[in-house]
Each structure stands twice: as structure tokens, then as C-alpha cells.
Amino acid sequence: MEFEVRESLDGIQVDAIVVPVPEGSDRCDPRFSTIANPLFASGDLPLKPLEILTIPGTPKILFAGISKTNDAEAWRRLAAAVVRRARKVKMVAFAGGDARSMVEGALVGGFSVEVYKTSNNKASVEKVIVAGADRKAIDDGIIVGESLNWARGLINEPSNRKPPRVMADHAREMAAAAGLTVDVLDERDLRDLKMGALLGVGQGSEESPRLVVLKHAGNPDSPKKLAYVGKGITFDSGGISIKPAEGMEKMKYDMAGGATAMAALRTLALFGARVNCMAVVPLAENMPSGRAQRPGDVVESMSGKTIEIINTDAEGRLILADALAYARRLGATHLVDIATLTGAARIALGPFRAGVMGNDQAFIDSFLAAAKRAGEKMWQMPMDDEYRDLIKSTVADVANTGGRFAGMITAAKFLEEFVGDTPWVHLDIAGTAWNDEERPWLPKGPSGVAMRTLVEFALSFGSLQ
């Protein structure tokens, strides 16, 4: 999708012009009042948010309802809804609005999950023109939107096309293009580092694990280093504790945290952000076989702590345990992990909010503030000491699951064992990373949730260094 800035709409030749109509308002851009006033009088306007009224002509006029909040998220959704609805429009112009957010939204709306259909029914908009916008705002929106879609594209890939070694190749290619440094650890490296938790998850698969590290050194003078640790399970069968067959095909998205962390690094690098940030992404395929780890096994993590495997389907926290320890070894002074970690997150918060936990309230507060600025909904869950009792083991230092009760919290308590006193935030996106129902601004499939928050948080973190 191509983007262009024009000083005005005068003499513009496009297929359609989008005219925002604020929710509950009786007016819109005065340049279109001749067309709009009779529609207000007849009750055809105003519109509910994301409703679109098309007036035929050359060009077409698309009156589009926008939420009365009039914030960045409202403009993102409006642009995405227009692109998704404008199937026979190649060139579209927006008559004002938040330029950066609209560019992000247009790219998000233009994303198609139908890449393997021989007749791809993707959106047809090829060029977007924004009148009176700042070019930097457009360019920043392109970077964010393309990074989101890079992550969504990886998440949408079938698991047979993205085993750990292939995911690592994608990371290398992206890093080279974005100007990031990259390091990929293979199975021999992981054994040398004694990453028994990560290796244990991957041992049932023919595809060996990997660990990817991306680095952006935007402020070499600062001692602070922020690490984004993203879960990268390229397919999750549950292992020996195998999942039900229904819905298992969606488990290709169990690497969404890893893809999102890497996409955030891409964005920061292209922004030239003045922050030191790394993405640490453990990659494994969780499969049942004669070599797979079993319930009752005990593994030794990189930190030296031993873990009793109660349920092999609680695998994400295992690979994150070693990755968090490795991030600390690399010098991370602050940690954020992001993972499609628990079904309990969806039970507790539904498909609308991600769960946030951590060990440092000031750090959590700054992260939640970044999420609010980014327009992404998150909710802090408790981390009382009593929850640690649920993951006690009789044979090892800790058990990898605490059973049905408070599953999102006990998973976080497990991860807390591996962060020491490093300020840490845990983000569980299991309920929000995959969109089960089509929405006006978003197709079914990968949502790209939390990438904007990670970028916003890193930018604010850098400003405080």
C-alpha cells in the first residue's frame, strides 16, 4: 500500500474521498456540506462509529462514522474499516484526521489472512492520500503498521512453514533490513548453556529448538537495558498432555509473543529510538513422541532451579524461564515478557483485555500507562505471595503448574522464580492475540496486540534514561 501527502484535496483524482462524521454530531467537514446537509436533515447522517455511507459519484464520497472519543484508536479503526469495506476502490483520500493513526489503521485493515488461497480476497486499496498531513507522521505510521503486519504474517503462517529454524531465518532477514544485531543459538549452544527447560519442551519434535536475540543499542551511554522476552512455540500440541483436537489448528499462533517482541524491535530500530532494547525469543515445537518429556519428569533450568513437569501443556513458561535467565545474563536491567501463556487469561478477561502482572509496581504502572497511550486494553492481576503455594513441588524447586485455580496468576508466579530482583512485567495475551470473530476494523486471525504498547513503553523508558 502506497501513501501520499497532499496540501489539499483541490483537484484530486481518486476513486473515493473519506469524510469523517463524528458520532452524534450534526456537521462534518464544511467542504462537503452541500452533500451532507440534506443527509443530516433526512436522518441518514450522523452515523454510528465505523458505519459507512457511500454516495455515488466521481469520486465517491464515503461518509464514515467516528467515535466521539476522537482519539488515536478511533482514527485507526476508522481507516481500517474503510480499507476493509472499500473492495473496489484503488485510490482513496482522507479529508483530515490523525494522519499517523490512519496510516497504521489502513495497513492493519489491508492485511489478509488468505495468503494460501488461489483467489485472494484481500482489500483492493492500493494508494492512500492524506490531505494536510506531516510527512513524518505518515512515515512513522508506515513503520508501525508494517511492523504489525510483519508479526501478524508470521503468526498466521502454518506451523509446517515456520518451525524454529525457519522462524530464526525470518528474524535474521528482518534484522538485516532494519539494522538490528542478531544472534541465533542452536541446540548445541542451548546445551552448553544448560537450558534444560527449553530443551525439554523441544525434545519431542524432529525440529530442534532455537533462541533468537535481537538488539537495538540506541543509547550506548546508558547502563539501562530493556529486554522483551517473547514466547515462541511454533506449534503446541500439548505434548504428552495432548490438547483436544477441536481448535488445535489455532496453536500455530502460540508464537505470537515472540513475533510481537521482534516486531517491536524492528519498529524501534527504524525509529532510531534512543533506548537500549533487546528481544529474546525462545523457539520450540511442543510435540508428543517417544522422545517427548513426560509428566513427572524433572528438568534443570539455566538458572539452576529444578522444575517438576506436572503438565507438558504448560510449556510456554518453561521456555520463558530459560529465556528470562538468559536475558539477565546478557545484561538486561528491566524485563518484560509477552506470551500466549494461559487459557485462564481468556476465562478471566475474555477476548478484550490482556493480563498484566509483575514484581515492581512503579514499573507496572509505567507499562500500563504506555498501554493506555497506545490504545490497548490491559488489566493488572494480583500477585500475592499465597499463590506461590500452588506451584510447590515435593521433588523439585518448583512445579510447572498449579492446577485449575488462578491459572493466569500461578503461571506468572512460576516466571517470577526466574527474574530475581530485576524489575519485571509479565503480559499474558492468550485471550487477545487471535481474533475469533471478524470485526469492522479487523479480520479473523492474528491481531498484533501489544506491539504498539511495547514500542510506546520502550520510547518512554528511553526518555527516562
Q: pLDDT tens-digit profile of 81-106?
A: 999 988 789 999 999 899 999 999 99
Q: 2-133 has which CATH code?
A: 3.40.220.10
Does residue 462 carry a pLDDT above 90? Answer: no
Q: Of the listed 100, 152, 266, 317, which one is catalytic?
A: 317
What pLDDT was estimated at residue 118? 87
Strand partners, 17: 61, 93
Q: Provide the pLDDT for residue 96.
A: 84
Give yes or no for residue 123 having a pLDDT over 70: no
Model pLDDT, residue 358: 98
Give every CB contact of residue 291 below 8 A, 6+ residues apart in sequence: 203, 204
What would the pLDDT profile of 313-371 be if each residue is shown by its tens digit? 999 999 999 999 999 999 999 999 999 999 999 999 999 999 999 999 999 999 999 99
CA angle 143, 144, 149 (to 5 degrees): 100
Closest listed residue to residue 232, CA positions, set 211, 207, 247, 263: 211
Every domain range in the chain assigned CATH 3.40.220.10: 2-133
Q: Choose among 279, 264, 302: nearest CA to 168.
A: 279
Nearest to 459 by CA among 140, 243, 154: 140
Active-site option among 122, 172, 224, 243? 243
> What is the helix, strand, coil percentage profile of the chain, to 5?
40, 20, 40
Instruction: Give residue 294's pLDDT.
Output: 98
Report whether pLDDT(31) > 80: yes
Kindly state the cell numbers that stand for 452. Answer: 504498539
CATH assignment of 157-463?
3.40.630.10
pLDDT at 255 over 80: yes
Helix H or strand E encompassing 344? helix 343-349
- Residue 122: per-residue pLDDT: 62
Q: How confident is the model at residue 120 (pLDDT cuts 50, 70, 90)?
A: low
**Segments of the chain assigned to CATH 3.40.630.10:** 157-463
Q: Is 172 a catalytic residue?
A: no
pLDDT at 87: 73
Q: Please give the Cα distance from 78 to 95 (Å, whole number).
A: 12
